[in-house]
């Protein structure tokens, strides 16, 4: 390989980090290292659903990636209108069907380990992965030496590494983000400083998410006709709590994601004691819903505190895929050199941040609709939810990609 134009370190080998690594493989003049805290890339046992908008981005990673993802899904991708998520009113002894969300294109559902496995198998030789490397902090020397001196990464095990560009894909409790905020605060006046530092500690959304996989056989042995085996996604809705279930890994597992929304705790500091236990939250739900929860052995708790993105539109992973692809496009572009990396990152920020913020608001509203916390009457729920969600199948990333390339190529355009 010729001399690389720069070396990128990706901190975090989750959905976004691995997508970025594969997307960057189109640019052989960039060397990539992925540093992952976990011992293995396959530790999180959960399902993720990818809506058409993000699936079309994954397709851009190559025919082979797409084929392997389809094999893991066990069904084809379609762009036709299809029934998507079945919604039931379930906070009563006998549940009632409310509406079925129609989506243009189907949601592609994966076991997260299967999904990451496909991405890992497509990493090029120019990308190295490092497990058990938990980043503790980084030192960016631009204030002390030349702006292009390498960034030093410091890991929890005491080891260090260097890179030219560092991408924080380290999830909800991002260390890169908190170091970045501290760094930013250093050069601010006391009032601004306080406001930036206050962003470091997460504020709780009042939402508790429970997420687990159960072996399908376990449920089948007891309830062979359970609704969840009928395909698609079922959302069991109720006052202040709801959950959804669907099969992944060719029907081998059932992914369950449950949520409680405590409006009185919005914007408080997260306290584990304040959350409502899973079984109590759903104790008055219809039988069909409770049968699913009976099969849950161990419930993983995710206090979705730091992330502005509530998971009520199943969009967080999809958005990180979009982020990764656009970021790879601006960094990999031949006009981007080590000197112009800041501009490339500013373009990425300009094009992605408003979009993600908008989806975050939509996702929050979806949760409130599902938990009957709005004034929307039941007969209008379907229509309101569809309108709020259709960005995920009616719009595409392509416009932003074109805009990004234009901004990279024409440096006379101001990015602010």
Ligand X SMILES: Cc1cc2nc3c(=O)[nH]c(=O)nc-3n(C[C@H](O)[C@H](O)[C@H](O)COP(=O)(O)OP(=O)(O)OC[C@H]3O[C@@H](n4cnc5c(N)ncnc54)[C@H](O)[C@@H]3O)c2cc1C
Determine the Cα–Cα distance for residues 25 and 6; give it in Å rounded to an integer.
13
Nearer to ligand X, 179 or 407 (CB): 179
Nearer to ligand X, 55 or 407 (CB): 55
Task: List the beta strands (DSSP E) in 12-157.
Answer: 30-35, 47-50, 81-89, 96-104, 108-111, 127-130, 135-139, 151-155
Provide, rounded to whole angstroms, the least separation between the CB of residue 300 and ligand X: 9
Nearer to ligand X, 200 or 376 (CB): 200
Q: With the C-alpha atoms ordered 323, 326, 332, 334, is the resulting torsion angle positive or negative? A: negative
**Percent helix, percent strand, percent coil in the chain, to nearest 5:** 40, 25, 35
Provide, rounded to whole angstroms, the least separation between the CB of residue 52 and ligand X: 12
Determine the Cα–Cα distance for residues 360 and 319; give it in Å rounded to an integer.
10
Provide, rounded to whole angstroms, the least separation between the CB of residue 170 and ligand X: 4
Residue 139's nearest CA partner among 163, 169, 171 is 163
> 3-class DSSP state for residue 254?
strand
Residues 195-234 interacting with ligand X (rule: CB under 6 A): 209, 211
Question: Which range in 11-19, 62-70, 146-154, 264-272 contacts ligand X by CB under 6 A?
Answer: 11-19
Provide, rounded to whole angstroms, the least separation between the CB of residue 349 and ligand X: 15
Provide, rounded to whole angstroms, the least separation between the CB of residue 160 and ligand X: 13
The single residue among 5, 60, 134, 290 that binds ligand X, judged by CB under 6 A, is: 134
Provide, rounded to whole angstroms, the least separation between the CB of residue 3 and ligand X: 28
Note whether 310 and 205 are within 8 A (CB).
yes
Residue 22, interface with ligand X (CB under 6 A)? no
- Would you state the structure tokens that stand for residue 276, as one six-digit string? 């409502």
Provide, rounded to whole angstroms, the least separation between the CB of residue 116 and ligand X: 8
SS (H, E, C) 144-205: CCCCCCCEEEEECCCCEEEECEEEECCCCCCHHHHHHHHHHHHCCCHHHHHHHHCCCCCCEC
Provide, rounded to whole angstroms, the least separation between the CB of residue 359 and ligand X: 10
Residue 86, interface with ligand X (CB under 6 A)? no
Note whether 211 and 46 are within 8 A (CB).
yes
Question: Which range in 6-14, 75-83, 195-203, 407-415 contacts ligand X by CB under 6 A?
Answer: 6-14
The single residue among 7, 9, 17, 226 that binds ligand X, judged by CB under 6 A, is: 17
Note whether 134 and 155 are within 8 A (CB).
yes
> 3-class DSSP state for residue 219?
helix
Provide, rounded to whole angstroms, the least separation between the CB of residue 318 and ligand X: 4
Nearer to ligand X, 36 or 286 (CB): 36
Element (H, E) at 243: strand 241-248
Question: Which range in 81-89, 169-177, 353-361, 387-395 contacts ligand X by CB under 6 A?
Answer: 169-177
Residues 284-303 interacting with ligand X (rule: CB under 6 A): 302
The DSSP call for residue 340 is G
The single residue among 21, 219, 317, 369 that binds ligand X, judged by CB under 6 A, is: 317
Residue 244, interface with ligand X (CB under 6 A)? no
The single residue among 6, 16, 161, 372 that binds ligand X, judged by CB under 6 A, is: 16
Determine the Cα–Cα distance for residues 401 and 382; give it in Å rounded to an integer.
32
Nearer to ligand X, 16 or 407 (CB): 16
Q: Which residues bind ligand X (CB under 6 A)?
A: 11-17, 35-38, 48-49, 134-135, 169-171, 175, 209, 211, 257, 302, 304, 309, 311, 314-318, 320
């Amino acid at each position: 390989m010729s001399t690389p134009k720069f070396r990128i370190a990706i901190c975090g080998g989750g959905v976004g980090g691995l997508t970025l690594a594969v997307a960057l493989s189109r640019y052989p003049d960039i060397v990539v290292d992925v540093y992952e805290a976990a011992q293995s890339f396959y530790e999180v046992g959960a399902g993720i659903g990818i809506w058409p908008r993000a699936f079309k981005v994954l397709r851009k990673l190559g025919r082979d990636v797409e084929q392997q993802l389809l094999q893991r899904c066990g069904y084809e991708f379609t762009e036709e209108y299809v029934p998507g998520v079945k919604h039931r009113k379930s906070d009563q002894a006998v549940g009632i069907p409310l509406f079925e969300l129609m989506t243009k294109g189907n949601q592609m559902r994966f076991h997260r380990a299967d999904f990451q496995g496909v991405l890992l198998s497509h990493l090029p030789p120019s990308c190295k992965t490092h497990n058990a490397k938990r980043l503790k902090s980084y030192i960016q020397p631009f204030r002390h030496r030349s702006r292009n001196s390498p960034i030093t990464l410091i890991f929890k095990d005491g080891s260090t590494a260097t890179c030219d560009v560092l991408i924080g894909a380290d999830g909800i409790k991002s260390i890169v983000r908190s170091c970045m905020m501290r760094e930013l605060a250093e050069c601010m006046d006391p009032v601004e400083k306080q406001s930036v530092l206050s962003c470091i500690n997460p504020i709780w959304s009042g939402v508790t998410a429970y997420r687990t996989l159960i072996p399908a056989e376990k449920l089948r042995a007891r309830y062979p006709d359970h609704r969840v085996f009928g395909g698609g996604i079922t959302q069991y809705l109720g006052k202040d709590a709801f959950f959804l279930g669907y099969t992944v890994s060719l029907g081998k597992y059932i992914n369950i994601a449950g949520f409680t929304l405590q409006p009185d705790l919005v914007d408080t500091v997260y306290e584990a004691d304040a959350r409502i236990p899973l079984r109590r939250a759903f104790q008055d739900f219809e039988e069909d819903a409770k049968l699913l929860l009976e099969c849950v052995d161990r419930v993983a708790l995710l206090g979705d505190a730091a992330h502005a993105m509530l998971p009520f539109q199943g969009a967080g992973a999809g958005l990180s895929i979009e982020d990764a692809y656009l970021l790879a496009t601006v960094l990999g572009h031949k006009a981007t050199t080590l000197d112009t990396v800041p501009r490339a990152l500013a373009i990425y920020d300009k094009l992605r941040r408003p979009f993600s913020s908008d989806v975050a608001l939509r996702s929050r509203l979806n949760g409130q609709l599902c938990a009957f916390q709005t004034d929307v009457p039941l007969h209008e729920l379907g229509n309101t939810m569809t309108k709020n969600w259709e960005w995920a199948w009616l719009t595409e990333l392509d416009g932003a990609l074109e805009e990004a390339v234009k901004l990279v190529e024409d440096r006379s355009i101001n990015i602010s």
